[in-house]
A and B are shown apart, each in its own frame.
Chain A
Amino acid sequence: MNISDLQNLMDRLAHQIDEGEEIVSADQERQLEDELSRHPEWADEMRSRELFDVQLRDSLCELQVPTGGQDRLLALLEESAEPNVEDSSELLNTQPATTQERPSRRRVIGIFSAACLLFVASLGVFLSTLTPVLTVAEVQQNIPRMWDLSTEELLPTDVAISSSATLPNGDWENSRIHYQTDWSLTELNSTAGQFAEFRKFSFQSSRGIVHNGLLVSLPTAKFPAEEHPSATSPFSADIRYLSTPSGLTLAIVTWTNPETNSLCFLAVPAESRTLDALDALLYVNPV
């Protein structure tokens, strides 16, 4: 043991005494006493350190606080006393700067929840006017309203499954699917009249949150699965299973749009395990 080890042990012991958290073993404590008795000069060093600590504390705290500063602040606080809960900046996010650049899992979940709430809220009014199943004619009639509600901000990018090779017939759980952003909103909109089905549904997340959604069945022919090999580079998504109260199992696919850095998700009924009958719910994050 050297003087640094001793200091370290003393720090730990001080912490233990202050907070009652046992981090120094009885053996270590005995060793500390032995070392101090063997090296009386270390005891002097420790005393010198204690003295330095006191001097340092006094020196750091001896700055004079200007008079009037506190009163000015109180006046300022009164002026700005109106509540402002809109400021949702992440000032209190105590992640180090390096991790702030990459959204943390908690933050992604937060964005995901916020996106759900916003979209569901904006869609709710529209959904309340729908019957559970619509005819093609009704869809044709209602789709423009849907897109009116879903502004470009809400629907920054559409996606299409680019390859069925990575979409196995078996279990999708934990599999990763590659997508390409080659299915533009304009194209999707132009095929609106051909949607086979348009249903309102809800599902409950594993955290117990019920999400309402809009399920749109798209004819396979309108998904140009193999037709856009030169589309933008693929990116990957995660997939999870959720069960709706009505017994429908949905594969919820989430991904981050690399262009807008937004989180998107898409629900696909798990029963349709191939692209032949793809029902797609489009939920796009407005962030």
Chain B
Amino acid sequence: MSEASSQPEIRQLVVEHYEMLYRFAWRLSGSKEDAEDLTQQTFLTAQRKLHQLQDPGAVKSWLCTILRHLFFRTNQPKQTSLDLVPELDVVSSDGDGLDTFDSEALQAALDDLPEDFRTPILLFYMGDFSYTEIAEQMEIPLGTVMSRLARGREHLKQKLITRGFIETPH
């Protein structure tokens, strides 16, 4: 049995992970256009480097790592004000009874978040990665992941409160 036969095929990866990666890229970059480019580049890179994937079970993490590296290779942190946030295409929520936050306000709050805090938030909430997986991807200690998640979450909350999208807790 050749080693290649145990590797997932790139088409399969696209079908399974395209949407998650696209959304991740969008939230990371704050731009629909950048998101499509980033997602494309991620899969093109993955196609070339598929033979380097040692653990097929960690493919989602691997793809996210590629995407993050591509993003940070070409992007400097940018300041985005709420006025500059592009209009976002939003689909209705899954009907869990809870209102979602205003997507543009949320993006503005995310853009305002330093990368060190934004990435764990996105990986945790969008990628469904565990603390340990985030720690491995970002090469930071587990405790740091927890701390950044807590602080990042608090930052987002405060921003959304400031903009009136969440009621002030009492």
Tell me the residues in window 202-219 of chain A with beta carbons closer than 8 Å to chain B beta carbons.
none
A76, B40: Cβ atoms closer than 8 Å = yes
B98, A15: Cβ atoms closer than 8 Å = no
A residues less than 8 Å from B22 (CB atoms): 63, 65, 69
- A interface residues, Cβ below 8 angstroms from B: 4, 7-8, 11-12, 15, 18-19, 21, 23, 45, 48-49, 51-66, 69-70, 72-74, 76-77, 80-81, 83-85, 87, 91-92, 94-97
- Interface size class, chain B: 35 or more
B142, A77: Cβ atoms closer than 8 Å = no
A residues less than 8 Å from B156 (CB atoms): 56
B128: nearest chain-A partner, CB-CB: A57
Q: A64 and B51 in contact (CB under 8 A), knowing A8-B146, A52-B166, A59-B103?
A: no
B125, A60: Cβ atoms closer than 8 Å = yes
A residues less than 8 Å from B96 (CB atoms): 54, 58
Once the chains are docked, how many angstroms separate the CA of A73 from the CA of B11? 9
Selected from A54, A62, A87, A97, the residue in CB contact (under 8 A) with B48 is A87
6 A-B pairs with CB atoms under 8 Å apart are A54-B96, A56-B106, A69-B18, A81-B47, A91-B70, A92-B62
Once the chains are docked, how many angstroms separate the CA of A15 from the CA of B132? 8
B100, A58: Cβ atoms closer than 8 Å = yes
Q: A74 and B11 in contact (CB under 8 A), knowing A56-B153, A95-B139?
A: yes
Once the chains are docked, how many angstroms separate the CA of A62 from the CA of B89? 9
Q: A73 and B14 in contact (CB under 8 A), knowing A62-B100, A95-B139, A96-B139?
A: yes
Once the chains are docked, how many angstroms separate the CA of A63 from the CA of B52? 31
Selected from B47, B99, B103, the residue in CB contact (under 8 A) with A77 is B47
A65, B45: Cβ atoms closer than 8 Å = no
Interface: B5 (CB within 8 A):
no
B26: nearest chain-A partner, CB-CB: A63
Once the chains are docked, how many angstroms separate the CA of A58 from the CA of B45? 29
B69, A92: Cβ atoms closer than 8 Å = yes
Q: A55 and B99 in contact (CB under 8 A), knowing A60-B106, A66-B36?
A: yes
Once the chains are docked, how many angstroms separate the CA of A74 from the CA of B11? 7
Tell me the residues in window 141-167 of chain B with beta carbons closer than 8 Å to chain A beta carbons.
142, 146-147, 149-150, 153, 156-157, 166
B residues less than 8 Å from A69 (CB atoms): 18, 22, 36, 39
B146, A61: Cβ atoms closer than 8 Å = no
Tell me the residues in window 110-135 of chain B with beta carbons closer than 8 Å to chain A beta carbons.
122, 125-126, 130-132
Interface: B44 (CB within 8 A):
yes
A51, B98: Cβ atoms closer than 8 Å = yes
A11: nearest chain-B partner, CB-CB: B146
Q: A85-B51, A91-B70 are in contact. List 5 more A-B contacts (CB 8 A).
A: A19-B130, A45-B169, A59-B101, A77-B47, A94-B139
